[in-house]
Amino acid sequence: MSPVVTGRVLRTRSEAMSVRVAGRSVSVCVGIVVVLLVVMCATLMTGEYQLSVGEVLGAVTGTGEGSADFIVNTLRMPRLLTALFVGAALAASGAILQGLTRNPLGSPDFIGFNNGAATGALLVIIVFGGGMYQIAVGALLGAIITALLIYVLAFSRGVHGFRFVLIGIGLNALALAVNSYLITRASLYDALTAQAWLVGSVNGRGWEHVAAAGLAILVLLPLALYHSRSLAMMELGDDSAKALGVGVQRSRAVLIVVSVLLAAFATAAAGPIVFVALAAPQLARRLTKSASPGLISSALMGGLLLIAGDFAIQRAFPTAQLPVGTATGCIGGLYLIWLLASEWRGKARYS
Amino acid sequence: MVGPRRTPNTLKAVGLLVALAALVVLGLLSVWLGSKSIPFTATWDVLWNNDGSNDAVIIHEYRVPRTLLGMLVGAALGLAGALMQALTRNPLAEPGLLGVTTGAATGVVISLGFLGISSLLGYVWFAFAGAAIASVVVYVIGSSGRRTASPERLVLAGAAVTAVLFAFNSAVLLMDPEAFDQYRFWQVGSLAGRFYDVLLPVLPFIVVGIVVALLLIRPLNALAMGEDLGRALGAHPDRVRVVGAIAITLLCGAATAAAGPIAFVGLAVPHMARLIAGPDQRWVLPYSLVLAPVLLVGSDIVGRLIAPPSEVQVGIVTAAIGVPVFIALCRKRKLTSL
């Protein structure tokens, strides 16, 4: 039997407030942050021009000289931060949706937001021939319209979680079909641009992308955290959650909106990077050994997955300019395989 | 979750017969309609005695194999989807989850990108081999030691392998525009240009897959009550899963090799079957087996007629037709759990 309350409970003197802290989650989060910082330093220092720690620090604090300042603040930093924020946003979006649907497949990859965003972006690329900024706006609109459609279609006397997901995968299939159709009808050049966008890339991203993704995280993540207590209870099922005093319909609506917007902004900034939303919460869950994916640990894991992927792809294929989605798929996939296999050797605890 | 809706068995049987009749009618329409218009009476005559005329060639060598392939591919995908959802007890599962579809795609990418094979017939076998290898790998990763794969681990292993293969495929295709130019037409899912030379090689795999799947109906029903109850009822969960996975690989692998990835059919048709017939696998599997080819052959006809002389690929039309029906069903009926 496991104890009813795990972790340590911190209380104020009069017990007016108490917070439960799961020791393992905290140490895992700290560990991820440390690895994150190391990878970030490595990304900023290496590349076509090697920079020393001092030069990078100087550039970051605004006291660097010309070339180092340009390389760090104009070329490397925006790309790095875009990757970090996009990864975190996707992972948080996935963690929320997986919790809401109580299904590891309930990630925005499957429920149409990403493909809806892609439809918007492909329309811009192939039909209107727009540039990077217009593509981002198209993607944002595509994701939001898809989500609204799902919500409207799934609404009848409240939103049933399962119906929401089913209608989502229906619209996902429709968006996917439209996307394939657009790709077969486009010129080869446009089709290649579209395909590269579809894999998800942070090549050549600037500060405006950082601002978009960062703002989304700054506003939406606290909102999600505020509601994450009810999320944990909703994983017990609607009826139990209601009995525990959760306003199920309202919390669900808020969480869905947050999840959609996180995925939408991330996709607008970097394209539909597959697998992060699905894998990061699962990886975090397996590392923290908790029953449900925690929001913070998932978000950190997503950020790490994306910047590590981008670092790897830049070093492994410096000339090919491959999109980061190829690396996150590879790294995240192999890591998940390794985790599954090591559980296989150990005690099959989560089976 | 909402309890099963009860529909009398006779009504379900009538429904199944109606669906079967619809399939036959659609089959005839598919042979009759096409870019070259041939009167129905002539079609009918030529269909039963092949007189070697131009029309007979068109019908016997183009339209009949295409129609048969559409039925086979549809049946395979529908059944594989129903099986996948029953085995993983996950309503979001689609046959591609075992890595089959992406494995097939990887086979095609390798044959296009590295071996320079560019004929449809050339990469059918690569696609099938890729599908088979991928699903074996997924199964090995997903199984936990002495106990065999639990549904959730299987799903995650499938997603992981799919992600790795997808990354590999994208990298190869983005660096090789020529291969991508061919691949983009394969990845839509189409029945165009497939004749007996594609139909005959995949036929035995699909037939074996269908037979195996139908033999699993009883144990699947037992397992639907949960592993322990199922075991008490005499089912062997592990054995059922292994056999089921083999059937899915045969069905979905062969279908994808022949027609390219057609994602929506395997995902949605079992839901439609459950919405009509309730959760009993004795009805879900046969309904999926019949409804999926109805959707696929019907879509193929529409795709051929909608913008002559070019056609819209069947993978696109199935989604365009299937999704509204699927959403309407989801909204109207009470949802049945697995």
Task: Give me the residues of B, 202-231, that contact A with CB < 8 A.
Answer: none
Q: Which residue of B has its CA nearest to A181?
A: B316
Alpha carbon B181 to its chain's center? 25
Smallest Cα distance from B54 to chain A, Å: 31
d(CA B72, CA B205) in angstroms, rounded, equals 11
Q: A334 and B164 in contact by Cβ < 8 A?
A: yes
Residues of B in contact with A239 (CB under 8 A): none
Torsion of CA A239, A241, A244, A247, to 10 degrees: -100
Res B2: pLDDT: 45
> A153 CB near a chain B CB, below 8 Å?
yes
What is the per-residue pLDDT for B298?
92
Q: Confirm or reject CATH 3.90.1200.10 for domain B9-332, answering yes or no.
A: no
Phi-psi region of A275 (alpha: psi -120 to 50; beta: other; left: phi over 0): left
Report CA dihedral (A7, A13, A16, A21) to the nearest 10 degrees. -20
pLDDT of residue B73: 93
Interatomic CA distance for residues B119 and B116, integer angstroms: 9
Chain A nearest-CA residue for B324? A170
* Best residue of B97, B137, B161, B170 to probe chain A, by most A CBs closer than 10 Å: B170
Task: Identify the CA nearest to B222 among candidates B141, B281, B169.
Answer: B281
User: Which pLDDT belongs to residue B207?
Assistant: 93
CA-based nearest residue in chain A for residue B310: A185
Q: What are the average pLDDT values for consecutive 10-residue runs of chain A, which has 351 residues?
A: 57 69 80 90 82 80 78 85 93 87 70 83 85 85 88 72 76 86 86 84 83 89 84 73 75 84 88 83 83 82 91 82 83 79 56 36
Distance CA A201, CA A310 (A): 9
A336 vs B91, B156, B313: nearest CB = B156
**Those residues with Cβ within 8 angstroms of residue A332's Cβ, 6 or more apart along the chain or in another chain:** A275, A276, A279, A280, A283, A305, A309, B160, B163
Q: One digit per residue, pLDDT tens: chain B, 338 residues?
A: 444 455 678 888 888 899 899 999 998 888 888 777 778 788 788 778 777 787 788 888 888 899 999 999 999 999 999 988 888 777 767 777 778 888 999 998 998 888 877 777 777 888 889 998 998 888 888 776 545 556 777 777 888 888 889 888 888 888 888 888 888 888 888 888 888 888 888 899 999 999 999 988 888 887 777 777 777 777 777 788 888 888 988 998 899 888 888 878 888 888 888 888 877 888 889 999 999 999 999 999 998 888 777 788 888 888 888 888 878 877 765 554 44
Q: Which member of A105, A279, A325 has the closest CB to residue B155?
A: A105
Partnered with residue A21 across adjacent β-strands are A8
DSSP B184: H
B window 128-167, beta carbon within 8 A of A: 141-145, 147, 150, 152-153, 155-157, 159-164, 166-167
For residue A271, give the DSSP letter: -
d(CA B220, CA B222): 5
Q: How far apart are CA B19 and CA B52, in angstroms?
A: 33
pLDDT at A291: 67
- Contact yes or no for A163 and B335 at CB 8 A: yes
Question: Which residues does residue A255 pair with via DSSP β-bridges, in sequence order?
Answer: none
Closest chain A CA to residue B147: A348
Q: Which residues touch B215 (CB under 8 Å, ≥6 apart)?
A: none
Q: Which two tokens stand for residue B163?
A: 């992600």
- Summarised one tens digit per residue, pLDDT across range A193-204 is 888 888 888 887
| CA–CA gap between residue B275 and residue B329 (Å, rounded) | 7
What is the residue extent of each domain of chain B?
A: 9-332
- Encoding tokens for residue A294? 């925690």
Buried b (16+ CB within 10 A) or exposed e, B178-194: ebbebbbbbbbbbbbeb
B236, exposed or middle or buried, with CB in 10 Å at 0-12, 13-18, 19+?
A: middle
* A159 Cα to chain B: minimum distance (Å): 11
DSSP B259-317: H---HHHHHHHHHHHHHHH-S-HHHHHHHHHHHHHHHHHHHHHHHHHHSTTS---HHHH
B267–A173 CB contact, under 8 Å: yes
Contact at 8 Å (CB) between A88 and A300? yes
- With beta carbons less than 8 A apart as the criterion, state whether B168 and B102 touch: no
Contact A326 B326 (CB under 8 A): no
* ipTM of the complex as predicted: 0.74
Q: How far is B147 from chain A (nearest CA, A)?
A: 9
Three-class SS of residue B64? helix
Contacts of B163 in chain A (CB under 8 A): 274-275, 279, 328-330, 332-333, 336
Identify the burial level of B252 via C-beta atoms within 10 angstroms of its C-beta, where 0-12 means exposed, 13-18 middle and 19 or more buried.
buried
Distances (CA, A) of A303 to A36, A197, A280, B232: 8, 19, 9, 46
Please, what sign has the CA dihedral across residues A153, A156, A159, A163?
Answer: negative
What pLDDT, on the 0 to 100 scale, is given for residue A346?
A: 55
What pLDDT, on a 0 to 100 scale, did the predictor assign at position A21? 67
CB atoms A180 and B177 under 8 Å = no
Give residue-wise pLDDT tens across range A30-85.
888 999 999 988 888 887 778 888 888 888 787 777 788 888 888 888 889 999 99
Residue A338 contacts B where some CB pair is shorter than 8 Å: no
Q: How many residues does chain B have?
A: 338
Cβ–Cβ gap B188/A180 under 8 Å: yes
Q: Which CATH architecture has domain A83-339?
A: Orthogonal Bundle (1.10)
Cα distances (Å, whole numbers) of residue B105 to A350, B96, B124, B281: 31, 11, 10, 30
According to DSSP, the β-strands at A8-11 and A18-21 are: antiparallel
Which chain A residues are Cβ-neighbours of B327 within 8 angstroms?
153, 167, 170-171
